[in-house]
Amino acid sequence: MPKDALKEIIARKKERIALARQVLPEEELKMRLQGLPATRPFIEAIVKPRQISLIAEIKKASPSEGLIREAFNPQEIAAVYQEAGVQAISVLTEEDYFQGSIQYLTEVKSCTTVPVLRKDFILEPYQVYESRAYGADAILLIADILTKDTIEQCIGIARPLGMECLVEVHTEKELKKVLSMKAVTLIGINNRDLHTLEVDFKTTEKLFTLVPKDKTVVVESGIRSSQDVLFLKILGVSAVLIGTAFMKESDIRSKVEEVMGW
């Protein structure tokens, strides 16, 4: 990846959105939302008193690791996650750097009963409607790449559609921006710097103490062991989002049980 990975991903994503709009215009997309089944409650699924929840991720590749999982079948992985007792599933839908597809959302939703999060680089309202149309119960919004107005606009569209928004931060500046918005209830602390792709666990230690107790916190990136999870549980984190550690294993279920201590 280049020096600034995020810049390149965003440039490519903008092209993808333009293409998607040509294939399926926004008005047509909105029509598809009529009569959809109700969404699955995301926050209720991941907030459990005195325990830490798992949002298990399905992803084939990443900019930092390249190809992570060769034998990749989203439905099979989702079924294993469901059997292992995960609280929610995150599906990476970004096409160029993570080898994802928005179709994976629909596939995963069709064979599970837990809530499904769309993880992508959401830049505009079109993608919020798109997420709901393909089965997302929640979406990721990255504070670093969105203005306050766009975050509030996306939440304002997502909520009436029944979707929750996980708003991700990596720095104190981003956290301050997010905390100034009343609408944000679910905050993701990403230990990975999306520009350099480097991971630093101290990001969580630094930022978590600054988050008010009435917010729900999910920690992302670099969580690989039961010690990591235990540390975050003691800290008071509601949920962890883990992908790579599971995707690298042939026996996903036993890795989930090992890392989560189940």
Which of 62, 94, 220, 238 is the catalytic position? 220
pLDDT bracket for residue 157 (50, 70, 90):
very high
As a dihedral over the C-alpha atoms of residue 5, residue 123, residue 162, residue 24, rounded to 10 degrees, the angle is -110
- Number of folded domains in the chain? 1
Which of 119, 177, 233, 255 is the catalytic position? 119
Which of 57, 94, 130, 164 is the catalytic position? 57
**218 token code pair:** 């999910």
Supply the pLDDT for residue 100.
97
User: 73 catalytic, yes or no?
Assistant: no
Query: Does residue 108 have a pLDDT over 80?
Result: yes
* CB environment 224-247: b (16+ within 10 A), e (fewer): beeebbebbbeeebbbbbbbbbbb
Residue 53 counted as domain residue:
yes
pLDDT bracket for residue 3 (50, 70, 90):
confident
Distance of CA 11 to the CA centre of its chain: 20
CA 167, CA 217: separation in Å to the nearest integer? 10
The CA–CA distances, whole Å, from 148 to 52, 142, 217, 225 equal 29, 11, 19, 35
Supply the pLDDT for residue 5.
85
Average pLDDT, the chain: 96
State the pairing for strand pair 88-92/66-67: unpaired
pLDDT bracket for residue 1 (50, 70, 90):
low
Query: Does residue 55 have a pLDDT over 60?
Result: yes
The pTM score is 0.96
User: 107 catalytic, yes or no?
Assistant: no
Domain that holds residue 147: 5-32+42-260
HSE, side-chain direction, 13 A CA sphere, residue 1: 20
For 29-48, write each residue's pLDDT tens digit.
999 999 999 999 999 999 99
Supply the pLDDT for residue 2.
53
Query: Does residue 176 have a pLDDT over 60?
Result: yes
Distance of CA 222 to the CA centre of its chain: 14
Q: Are 65 and 166 in contact (CB under 8 A)?
A: no
Q: Nearest Cα to 69, choosing from 247, 224, 244?
A: 247
Residue 110 counted as domain residue:
yes
CA 153, CA 205: separation in Å to the nearest integer? 30
**Residue 32 CB partners (closer than 8 Å, separation 6+):** 133
User: 30 catalytic, yes or no?
Assistant: no
More confident call, 49 vs 19: 19
DSSP one-letter code for 225 = S
Supply the pLDDT for residue 127.
98
The arithmetic mean of pLDDT across residues 216-231, rounded, is 95
User: 7 catalytic, yes or no?
Assistant: no
Which of 59, 177, 233, 255 is the catalytic position? 59
DSSP one-letter code for 180 = T
CATH classification at residue 122: 3.20.20.70
For 18-28, write each residue's pLDDT tens digit.
999 999 999 99
Residue 37 counted as domain residue:
no
Measured in Å, how far apart are the chain's first and last C-alpha atoms?
36
Q: Nearest Cα to 39, choosing from 158, 152, 150, 122?
A: 158
Query: Does residue 14 have a pLDDT over 60?
Result: yes
Q: Are 202 and 219 in contact (CB under 8 A)?
A: no
